[in-house]
Chains A and B, each alone.
Chain A
Amino acid sequence: MKNINLKPRQKLIAPGKSNLLVHRYAETALSVWQRFKPEPTYVNMECIDKFYRPPLRLINGGDNVFYFCNEFQRINQVLRLESDSDYPCLITPESIKDIQQLAWMEVIDLIFLKDAHHPDLFKALKGTAPQSVICQLMGIRYLTVKSYCRFAGISQSSYEYMQCKFGLEERVLGIPQNMNWLSDVPS
């Protein structure tokens, strides 16, 4: 595969911390995603030839800097384990609406993880995400608990159960908040 022809939109990039940055409009989504991301287990792709690995979709920022806006897990993996060689990428023109949608799609995908923490995730979507983008992606009119649960495929009661469970857990965590233990010890 030495004489491979790359189309103008395709490019080989050596990924590194200095030239592969998150796009401005995907920053919030990335930070939310990081807080809810699954355990870092993944398929090892180092053995696959780089042209067979899934390409990254990047945006050219000039000065040899490229921005990413989705595939956070994959980027993480590339930066940590596969940064020794060039990597095939697709360069797309900058379109803010699409960038936002791609980025938030990553967050919405977290809903389907089996140990997703729905109440927190709902709060994060409600509080930090642009509502129009979210509603469009989830195909709903308003983001409510009800519509969230329907989208996630869980019942509202299991959502509430989860809420209570974590609320109760909060009380036994950390340093006790009273001095009752003093009287439990025989003096």
Chain B
Amino acid sequence: MNIKKFDNKELKVVLDQLVPFDSPHYIKVQNLIINLIKVKPSFCFCVGEHASLDMPVFTSSECETIVRTVVKEKNIENWAVTYMLVCFYQKYGKVHTNNEAWQFMSVYLQIIIMISIRKDEHSAKVNQLSVRLRMSLKDNNPQSKIVKKLISIHAQHASLTNVLAVLRQYEAQIRDDEESGKVVNQKLAGKIGQIRLAYEVVAENKAFVGKTYTNSQNNELSKDHANKRYLDSTDEPIRVTIFGRPHKNDNVADAENIADDDPPALLDNDFKPSRTTAKSSELQQWKLKNNYRHARRNQFYFPTNLRQLSLLSYQMLFARMWQLFGVVSYKQRQVYAVILLSLLSGRKIQDVIYELALDKRQRKWLGHESGSAADSYAMSNTINVTSNRRSHLLPHRQSHDNEFKLPLPTRLQAVIENKFLIDSNEVSEVLASLKTQLELPVLSNQHIDACLYTVIKNELQEPLHADMITGIDVKHSSPLYYTSIETISLEKTYYSAIQLLTEYCTADSQGELRQLSMSSTKSNRYKKYVGSDMTLNTDICQKFFDELAESAESYNGRLKRNVSIRQDRYIEQFNAYGVWLWHIIFIQTGIRPVKHAPGLLNQFDFRQRLLWVSDKEERHGQGQGRLIPLSDFLITAIQNYIEYIKQFAVMHNSIYPNDQFPINNVLNSSQPLIQLFSQNPKGFADITPSKVRYQIKHFFSHQDNWLRHQLRSLLTNRSPEHLICALYGHEHPDQEAMHPMSSLSINELKELSADLDKVAVELNLRQVEVNIYG
């Protein structure tokens, strides 16, 4: 590698570009950079002799002013280098040439300069590099590991090539650990990758390669959602709805909101036909057809459904398949492998054919796991959840990942090792011959596709596990978004399904197929939970509620009024109590955090122990809202709160005639139950998620929906799945718990309240004792 030589003029041009003349203290910052480069001279380039300048010194107040100016002027990107340097200065103090941290910074700046003089698309990396470093400087941030490692790497290795080699090694190791689940996945590998790439560009003069987007299969599937677009970003596919109501006041990912109810809209939804036309049979038929299409998409899977076989037929079919699989010719064996794989994975035959035609590395859900004695293939099931990017929360998530693996029989693995292409006609021929052999009334592709799903859903009664194991798209099964589930429970369900399916196999084959259950795949052992990224560990959750309760109680005995209403501790107590109750309601009901939730007082029925909520956009032609059972804990909490606000109102309203608490409106259900006093505009206002977020902004920040994820994860595998879906409003169309044709009794739904109480116990929730006098 040639070391580039800079003359002063050239250097000046680059510096002016990195630290523009309108940025704060630009002369001093440029000076600092020139001096810093000399700390580790000739790492990437050398500079011509400069008039020796003193190392500039920044006082802490100067640093603070610069940081504030950068943020205030919204020039974080243009002044990225200044911002990064000042943050670094704040943390590591005055520049010493012997200090390892500053020596690293010298190299880092040289890299940045080298990238910036290229003047090509790589220049976006300048901002990226400074963001990475800035994030790493925060103590609570998991990225802080990176900067510590970088400093030590630079201290040990003197040349760019060596540093790069170690950096690659470091990235590979972190990536491996994160993927296997050995460590909590904090998504560090990608971030190290960005830094490594920058070093690579400088060291090896790499050209810029833009991302190319291929038409993947997933995009094909989504064509019927014409109003959705998919944006491809680095680690999260983002679905964008082009029209429709935007959710302005929440920070929930759009996909999550839309998945909750997403019937493909009729093109003429707003068309209001005349009365005679509306009753015409044509329109009626059209509606009926549309409803039918929608219901079919989500498949009832009743045992009487013609699209599936009985359990016995499946067992016979599988036994015959497995027997023939061992004896047929090499070419024929591949066709059988396709059908068997479809039976064992629950994927469509078309998908299996497509997947097997791909190269080993391109396969999506057939991954091979190396490391054990022989390479083994496994199905990997990815639950496409919204990823959590709040770095302070990453270490505290419950789920390790959103992917889990299930093993495949060894004999099958051998066949699918290499790519091969099967014509779907060959599959049909095999199926036709099997149909006559077994004397089945019907047998077609869709009966094969439905096999595993039916067995798990109808025989094992685990609809959620069925969705996860057969790789149902999250868009068609909203519960998947919210659930963080124990991996072992999924494994168990899968093995029971295999157990059932292999009932009629010979003893030898049974031994071969069932022994899989012994060999739990390696990565699953590390991943205790998989699924939702928003669910947090129980102990963090306990601590969260404990702190909230304590904050409401902290005013007891310390209450005092102030001439200014803004500093009145009675009002602060009122707000803290309201915020606590809001969170309690959400962890005990799982409702969506919509504006004014949980709503008016008359939505609660304390005698029937039910809450009526309407927290989402209505579906066409279905009744509004749903009923939610109330737990004992929640009833007590709300009744205590009502007592409290009554007393609060008496004291408050006599003192503040201009800022009345609308107690009568609250009790008469014309204003929402929970009110918060807001400073600007001054006065009591109905509660909204954004107001709550503002109240706890320094204490905790998470997606608004997180308690919904938390409750779903706490209930999963403990309460009956159909009841959880009823609680969340996650039933498929026409299968709602309160549907006119539903056979569910309300008392069955009410049994959930005992489970909700168990959640309260598990999270150590306690009633707060708020003292309103002095």
| A175 CB contacts on chain B under 8 angstroms | 547-548, 551, 576, 579, 695-696, 698-699
- Min CB–CB distance B527 → chain A (angstroms): 16
In the assembled complex, the CB of B197 is this many whole angstroms from the nearest CB of chain A, namely 30
Q: How far is the CB of B558 from chain A (nearest CB, A)?
A: 6
Set of chain A residues within 8 Å of B551, measured between Cβ atoms: 173-176
Q: Which residues of A contact B698 (CB under 8 A)?
A: 175-179
Interface residues of A (CB under 8 A from B): 31-32, 34-36, 39, 117, 120, 123-124, 127-128, 166, 169, 172-187
- A169 interface neighbour in B395, B540, B543, B558, Cβ under 8 Å: B558
Nearest chain A CB to B542 CB, angstrom units: 8
* A127 and B395 in contact, given A174-B555, A179-B699, A179-B700 (Cβ under 8 angstroms): no
The 6 closest A-B pairs by CB, nearest first: A35-B561, A177-B698, A175-B551, A124-B563, A187-B395, A34-B655
Is A174 a contact of B563 with CB atoms below 8 Å?
Answer: no
A128 and B563 within 8 A (CB): yes
Residues of chain A with a CB closer than 8 A to B555's CB:
173-174
Q: Could you tell me the distance between the alpha carbons of A128 and B654 in the complex, rounded to whole angstroms? A: 19
- B560 in the interface (beta carbon within 8 A): yes
- Residues of chain B lying within 8 A (CB to CB) of residue A128: 563
5 CB contacts below 8 A, A to B, read A35-B563, A36-B561, A128-B563, A185-B537, A185-B540
Give the docked Cα–Cα distance between A173 and B537 (Å). 26
User: A185–B541 Cα gap in the complex (Å)?
Assistant: 10
B residues lining the A interface (CB < 8 Å): 140, 184, 392-393, 395-396, 537, 539-540, 543, 547-548, 551, 554-555, 558, 560-563, 568-569, 572, 576, 579, 654-655, 695-696, 698-701, 773-774
Number of A-B contacts (CB under 8 A): 80
Knowing A34-B654, A173-B555 are in contact, say whether A187-B184 is a contact too (CB < 8 A). yes
Cβ-closest chain B residue relative to A126: B563
Instruction: Tell me the complex Cα distance, A186–B699, Å.
Output: 18
A172-B655 contact, Cβ under 8 Å, with A179-B699, A185-B540: no
Residues of B within 8 A of A32 (CB): 563
Q: Is the CB of A178 within 8 A of B699?
A: yes
Decide yes or no: A187 and B396 within 8 Å by CB, A34-B654, A128-B563, A172-B554 being known contacts: yes
Set of chain B residues within 8 Å of A39, measured between Cβ atoms = 773-774
**Known contacts A123-B563, A179-B698, A185-B540: A174-B392 contact under CB 8 Å:** no
Other A-B pairs, 16, CB within 8 Å; known A120-B563, A182-B393, A185-B540: A31-B655, A34-B654, A34-B655, A35-B568, A35-B655, A117-B560, A174-B554, A174-B555, A174-B572, A175-B696, A179-B392, A179-B698, A179-B699, A181-B543, A185-B396, A187-B395
* A183 and B140 within 8 A (CB): yes
Which residue from chain A places its CB closest to the CB of B559 in the assembled complex?
A173
Closest partner residue, chain A, to B394 (CB atom): A187
CB-based contact B547/A120 at 8 Å = no
> Once the chains are docked, how many angstroms separate the CA of A34 from the CA of B700?
36
In the complex, what residue of chain B is closest to A128 when comparing beta carbons?
B563
CB distance A120 to B558 under 8 Å?
A: no
Measured CA separation A179–B551 after assembly (Å): 14
* B773 CB contacts on chain A under 8 angstroms: 39
Chain A residues near B543 (CB, 8 Å)? 181, 184-185
> Contact check: which of B539, B554, B576 meets A186 at CB < 8 Å?
B539
Chain B contacts of A31 at CB under 8 A?
A: 655
Contacts known (A120-B563, A179-B699, A185-B540); A173 close to B558, Cβ less than 8 A: yes
Chain B residues near A36 (CB, 8 Å)? 561
Q: Which residues of B contact A183 (CB under 8 A)?
A: 140
